Amino acid sequence: MDISDLDFLESLIPDLSPQKPVFEDKTISSVAKFITSDECRNIFVMLGAGVSTSAGIPDFRSPGTGLYSNLARLNLPYPEAVFEINFFRNNPLPFYSLAKELYPGKFRPTISHSFVKLLADKSLLRMCFTQNIDTLERRAGVPDNKIVEAHGSFATQRCIDCKAPYDGEKIKQAVHEGTIPRCEECGGLVKPDIVFFGEALPDSFIKSVPMLSQADLLIIMGTSLTVHPFASLSYLVPEGCPRVLINLDPAGNLGHHVNDVVLLGKCDDIVRDLCKELGWEDELLDDWEATKDTLEKDETTAAEPSKTAEEEIDELVADVQRALEISDAGEEAEEKKTEEVSKASASTEPRTEESDAATGAGTVEESQSTHGPSGEDRSPPQEETKEVTTKSEEEIVIVEYEAKVTQSTEEDKE
């Protein structure tokens, strides 16, 4: 073994020396100083539901108050079924009842969204990863090429069967009229490009993950970091990269590393205090006021007083309940009609088992073994194999960073 071999082996040993502190202390003032320093040129942002609750949009997972907790009392297989692709295929009405209340145009971006736009204006924002489907980042003015919607959004839509794109104005009209949009090419169901349970994450998310290796600062706002693989992004910045959590509660392993700063409270309040320290408060408020003007000019916006998140949840749950009742009534009517037709056929066309066999009546039973009462296909959807394959591609991207994530987790435990 020569010296070059020793050098190679040494290069494989991770640098376990203490990281150099970036912040003078764990305060908003220190975060502001770092943002304005020459060391901070590439800021990445992660957004969760907490940045949109002040706009009146309910979060999904908060115990007792979140959307899922409230949907649990309804006649659903499980609360998340509204966003499950196979449930949607059989009964899209509950989802579209929710979509009518959550559809873009009804809500105004928050101060936190305007802060992200301000980072972009100052050429500091490298990328904003968001879990939210509400498109408020776009409405706030964050450039499209600076947004990665990890769970998709209402911005685009397509047929779930042939994948043909669908016109945005037409789906907007259907949603507001309470009708189910159908593909003009094949007649299949149309769905906004929101990632449902059982669907692959967008390619844009997979392709953007490696960019995090260039981060000078990671700002995480309004997320509990419990949903993966989105939560794993917080591990994928370089060793020693400063991470700032702005949230009501602690999240993930944030606060365990020397360059972590945890700022607990309402996102909008902390963002406003941070902008005061940066000297950006007037710009922030001007940008936020502009979002109000845009909302008022939006012809799709309902002229009604703003509601709290709790009021929105109550209205959403009531809409889903009505949708379920309509679906149940429709199924009962269909079953009754089928039963009446069967009785009429039995009385007017009596057949022996032998004559049935001779005329091939068994083919009806064979067809029903793969189709439900409404004719929906129960055989495994063709795209399931594709989804599994795509899912493995997602895992490959995350696995590339697995050693780093595992190492960070083990350090936290120590």
Furthest-apart CA pair in the chain: how many Å? 96
Which pLDDT score is estimated for 346?
53
* Between 114 and 229, residue with greater pLDDT: 114
Is 219 within 8 Å of 43 (Cβ atoms)?
Answer: yes
Cβ atoms within 10 A of the Cβ of 75, count?
10
Is 266 within 8 Å of 115 (Cβ atoms)?
Answer: no
Helix crossing, 267-278 with 281-297: angle to 10°? 130
For domain 21-55+109-151+203-291, the CATH class is alpha beta
Query: What mean pLDDT is predicted for residues 189-199?
Result: 90
* Residue 123, CB-side half-sphere exposure with 13 Å CA sphere: 2
pTM of structure:
0.69
Whether pLDDT at 20 is above 80:
yes
* Between 148 and 228, residue with greater pLDDT: 148
Give residue 199's pLDDT band: very low, low, confident or very high (50, 70, 90).
confident
**Digit-coded pLDDT (tens) for 353-382:** 333 333 333 333 333 333 332 333 333 333
Give the amino acid at 229: P
Query: What mean pLDDT is predicted for residues 50-62?
Result: 81
Which pLDDT score is estimated for 395?
47
**Digit-coded pLDDT (tens) for 152-179:** 998 899 999 999 999 999 999 998 888 8
Whether pLDDT at 90 is above 60:
yes
Q: CA-to-CA distance for 398 and 407, rounded, in angstroms?
A: 14
Whether pLDDT at 143 is above 60:
yes
Q: CA-to-CA distance for 382 and 185, rounded, in angstroms?
A: 18
Whether pLDDT at 93 is above 90:
no
Is 274 within 8 Å of 32 (Cβ atoms)?
Answer: yes
Q: How does strand 217-221 pair with strand 243-247?
A: parallel
Q: CA-to-CA distance for 348 and 408, rounded, in angstroms?
A: 75
**Digit-coded pLDDT (tens) for 274-309:** 999 999 999 999 999 999 865 544 444 433 445 544
Query: What mean pLDDT is predicted for residues 372-399?
Result: 39
Give residue 344's pLDDT band: very low, low, confident or very high (50, 70, 90).
low
Q: Give residue 41's Cα distance to chain centre.
A: 28
Ramachandran bin of 107, using left for φ above 0, alpha for ψ from -120 to 50, beta for the remaining angles = beta
List the CATH code of the domain at 58-106+152-194. Answer: 3.30.1600.10
Q: Where exactly are the structural domains of the chain?
A: 21-55+109-151+203-291, 58-106+152-194
Is 57 within 8 Å of 49 (Cβ atoms)?
Answer: yes
**Digit-coded pLDDT (tens) for 218-268:** 999 999 998 888 999 999 999 999 999 999 999 988 888 999 999 999 999
- Give catalytic residue positions: 151
Give residue 316's pLDDT band: very low, low, confident or very high (50, 70, 90).
low
Token pair belonging to 193: 């490009």
Which pLDDT score is estimated for 364?
30
Which pLDDT score is estimated for 144?
95
% helix / strand / coil in the chain, to the nearest 5? 50, 10, 40
Q: What percent of the chain has pLDDT over 70?
A: 62
